[in-house]
């Protein structure tokens, strides 16, 4: 009898496994408990994959025998490719290649733009360096797109989805960068240009009094003008908005020089034009207790001392509204930013998106920068000052225009050739996210900053850190005790039942 029951149990288990596998072919369920849904593909990615007209092939160049964090990146990338293939209806095929196997494969990877990384590996209590490849090449027809490096914690879905979209989209919309008033050229916005080129043609745009803004431009960017903007340009911008156009504006209301230690107001006419729309950018310097440090040379007697000084004129912005533009941003670095406010038509939708910290203040221009000043809390009496905002519903014709205005014109600029500096990644993301939102191509905004966020336990509050420590220590013990108690009760109930049967 017992043998028959055992065979029946085995048969049922096998039958359940077969049925579950058959159902899994048609129904897909995945639980993602991560904070930013790291393992859940976005609706934008699914739309891209379902609309593929031609098959995509992916060659993933990954070294084997990598340390744990890099090995997990390889596994995550392979799982993502599997899911991409499933959602696209098998329109995506992939293969993994280990370039370290032979010189021919390694040469092929490097010729295709996959560059090796030198990573630290511990072997026999010694730290050595290992050459590792972690990149991919995507092909649609004769077109090719390269992901040179897929680093641990990077925005993997963004890199993969935007590469596929770039290959599959034939006609990109144009984004104009206004020129002719002292603005930086596209060559001076190299990081922003590289990101925008995935989905747009990022082009210089010069206006004249005998032409109008070409219809191919849905969005125009105005970044850090330094000369007076002519009246006919402002009229064309009005007409552009009235026709449903979109504007991104990064304006300097003040300008300064850290080496000279002096800052002054800046007037280009753009601030007056914005004020006519109700957006007032104040002629001041926002100072913030949360700020960057810079290396300064100071002469003390006959000696020159190099020291690192906290400069409140360079706020570190981490206070954001919940908005598609700021989704995923962690920190911005802004130099000589001003405050802004709205006093216009209440029928328009004004939405502040960037704020100073809880300890900030303002200093009117012109201003001498006193680096010897001992800053106190009394110098920062203000909080949550608006540094950037959107304005929607600007009337004019059948359509309503919208704008994004940031009260710092330098934040996305790399500078002229030969003097270019790296811009903070989130500064780049802020401008590119703004262009995406303005252009109504918002699906991929959240993916750009979607990765594994750094959450160092040392930076947590003391109470939270203590709670996690005791939770990690006590939870396993508590689970064992609960399991033991349930098992004890079960066996006790069985003994009682047997005793009752014997007595009966």
Q: Looking at residue 240, what is its pLDDT?
A: 93
In a domain, 501, yes or no: no
Percent of the residues in the chain that have a pLDDT greater than 70, as a whole number:
84
Q: What is the CATH number of the domain that holds 399?
A: 3.40.50.880
For residues 473 and 408, state if they share a domain. Answer: no
**Is cis: bond before 366, omega within 30 of 0?**
yes
pLDDT tens-digit profile of 422-433?
Answer: 999 999 999 999
Number of domains, the chain: 3
Following DSSP, what letter does each residue of 260-303 receive, concatenated? TTEEEE---SHHHHHHHTTEEE-SEEEEESSEEEEEEEEEETTE
| Most confident among 161-175, 215-229, 386-400 (mean pLDDT) | 215-229
For residues 150 and 237, state if they share a domain. Answer: no
Percent of the residues in the chain that have a pLDDT greater than 90, as a whole number:
45
Among the candidates 167, 197, 215, a domain finishes at 167
In a domain, 120, yes or no: yes
For residues 331 and 444, state if they share a domain. Answer: yes
Query: Would the pLDDT of 458 be above 60?
Result: no
Average pLDDT over the chain, rounded to an integer: 84
State the Cα–Cα distance between residues 292 and 425, nearest whole angstrom: 15
- Neighbouring C-beta atoms of residue 323, cutoff 10 Å: 17
In this structure, of 280-284, 286-290, 322-326, the range with the lowest mean pLDDT score is 322-326
Reported as a pLDDT band with limits 50, 70 and 90, residue 347 is confident
Reported as a pLDDT band with limits 50, 70 and 90, residue 30 is low
In this structure, of 33-42, 53-62, 68-77, the range with the lowest mean pLDDT score is 33-42
State the Cα–Cα distance between residues 147 and 170, nearest whole angstrom: 20
State how beta strands 174-179 and 134-140 pair.
unpaired
| Most confident among 36-40, 260-264, 306-310, 456-460 (mean pLDDT) | 260-264
Tokens standing for residue 157: 């879905």
In a domain, 105, yes or no: yes
For residues 213 and 153, state if they share a domain. Answer: no
CA dihedral (464, 470, 475, 476) in degrees, to 10, reads 130
Instruction: Decide which of 137 and 17 is more confident.
Output: 137
For residues 407 and 441, state if they share a domain. Answer: yes
pLDDT tens-digit profile of 376-428?
Answer: 999 999 999 999 999 998 765 556 789 999 999 999 999 887 678 899 999 99
For residues 439 and 463, state if they share a domain. Answer: no
Q: Looking at residue 162, what is its pLDDT?
A: 82
Nearest by Cα to 344 from 415, 280, 257: 280
Among the candidates 118, 141, 167, a domain finishes at 167
In a domain, 27, yes or no: no
Q: Looking at residue 477, what is its pLDDT?
A: 77
425 CB contacts (<8 Å, ≥6 apart)? none
Q: Looking at residue 4, what is its pLDDT?
A: 60
In a domain, 5, yes or no: no
Q: How far is CA 46 from the centre of its chain?
A: 19
Task: Give the range of the structural domain holding residue 474, as residue numbers without chain letter.
Answer: 458-491
Query: In which element (H, E) is residue 387 found?
Result: strand 386-394
Instruction: Decide which of 61 and 159 is more confident.
Output: 61
In a domain, 1, yes or no: no
Instruction: Decide which of 480 and 445 is more confident.
Output: 480
Query: Would the pLDDT of 66 be above 90?
Result: no
Among the candidates 167, 183, 198, a domain finishes at 167
Integer distance in angstroms from the first to the last C-alpha of the chain?
24
For residues 160 and 229, state if they share a domain. Answer: no
The strand pairing partners of 300, in sequence order, are: 303
For residues 312 and 184, state if they share a domain. Answer: yes
Query: Would the pLDDT of 2 be above 60?
Result: no
Q: How far is CA 115 from CA 106, 119, 418, 421, in A?
A: 10, 13, 25, 23
Tell me the average pLDDT across 124-135. 78
For residues 197 and 76, state if they share a domain. Answer: no
Nearest by Cα to 162 from 241, 327, 45: 45
Q: What is the CATH number of the domain that holds 127?
A: 3.40.30.10
In a domain, 23, yes or no: no
130 CB contacts (<8 Å, ≥6 apart)? 63, 66, 118, 119, 120, 121
Q: How far is CA 78 from CA 110, 159, 166, 219, 344, in A?
A: 21, 14, 21, 37, 52
For residues 271 and 379, state if they share a domain. Answer: yes
Instruction: Decide which of 490 and 325 is more confident.
Output: 325
- Neighbouring C-beta atoms of residue 173, cutoff 10 Å: 15
> For the CA atoms of the chain, what is the radius of gyration?
29
Tell me the average pLDDT across 167-183. 90
Q: Looking at residue 113, what is its pLDDT?
A: 86
For residues 287 and 307, state if they share a domain. Answer: yes
For residues 446 and 463, state if they share a domain. Answer: no
């Amino acid at each position: 009898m017992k043998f028959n029951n055992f065979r029946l149990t085995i048969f049922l288990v096998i039958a359940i496994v077969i049925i579950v596998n058959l159902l899994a072919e048609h129904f897909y369920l995945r639980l993602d408990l991560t904070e930013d849904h790291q393992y859940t593909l976005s609706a934008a990615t699914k739309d891209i994959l379902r609309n593929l007209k031609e098959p995509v092939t992916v060659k993933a160049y990954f070294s084997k025998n990598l340390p744990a964090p890099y090995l997990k990146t390889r596994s995550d990338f392979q799982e993502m490719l599997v899911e991409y293939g499933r959602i696209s209806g098998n329109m995506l095929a992939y293969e993994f290649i280990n370039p370290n196997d032979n010189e021919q494969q390694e040469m092929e990877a490097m010729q295709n733009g996959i560059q090796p990384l030198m990573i630290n590996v511990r072997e026999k209590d010694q730290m050595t360096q290992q050459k590792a490849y972690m990149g991919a090449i995507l092909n649609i027809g004769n077109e090719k797109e390269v992901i040179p490096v897929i680093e641990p914690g990077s925005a993997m879905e963004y890199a993969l989805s935007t590469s596929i979209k770039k290959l599959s989209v034939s006609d990109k919309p144009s984004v104009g960068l206004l020129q002719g008033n002292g603005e930086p050229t596209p060559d001076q916005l190299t990081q922003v240009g590289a990101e925008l080129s995935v989905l747009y043609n990022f082009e210089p745009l010069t206006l004249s009094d005998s032409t109008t803004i070409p219809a191919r431009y849905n969005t125009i960017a105005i970044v850090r003008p330094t000369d007076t903007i002519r009246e006919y340009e402002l009229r064309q911008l009005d007409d552009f908005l009235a026709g449903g156009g979109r504007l991104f504006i990064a304006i300097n209301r003040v300008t300064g020089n850290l080496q000279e230690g002096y800052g002054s107001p800046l007037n280009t006419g753009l601030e007056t034009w914005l004020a006519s729309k109700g957006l007032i950018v104040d002629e001041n310097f926002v100072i913030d207790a949360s700020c960057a440090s810079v290396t300064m040379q100071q002469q003390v007697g006959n000696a020159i001392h190099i020291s690192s000084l906290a400069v409140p004129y360079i706020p570190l912005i981490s206070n954001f509204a919940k908005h598609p533009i700021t989704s995923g941003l962690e920190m911005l670095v802004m130099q000589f930013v001003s405050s802004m406010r709205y006093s216009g038509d209440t029928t328009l939708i004004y939405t502040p998106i960037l704020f100073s910290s809880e300890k900030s203040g303002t200093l009117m221009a012109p201003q001498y920068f006193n680096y010897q000043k001992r800053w106190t809390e009394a110098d920062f009496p203000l909080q949550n000052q608006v540094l950037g905002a959107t304005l929607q519903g600007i009337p004019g014709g059948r359509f309503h225009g919208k704008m994004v205005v940031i009260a710092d014109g330098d934040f996305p600029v790399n500078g002229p050739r030969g003097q270019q500096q790296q811009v903070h990644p989130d500064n780049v993301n802020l401008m590119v996210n703004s262009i995406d939102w303005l252009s109504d191509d918002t699906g991929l905004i959240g993916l750009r900053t979607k990765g594994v966020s750094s959450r160092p336990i040392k930076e947590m509050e003391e109470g939270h850190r203590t709670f996690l420590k005791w939770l990690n220590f006590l939870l396993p013990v508590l689970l064992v005790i609960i399991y033991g108690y349930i098992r004890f009760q079960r066996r006790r109930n069985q003994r009682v039942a047997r005793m009752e049967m014997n007595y009966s």
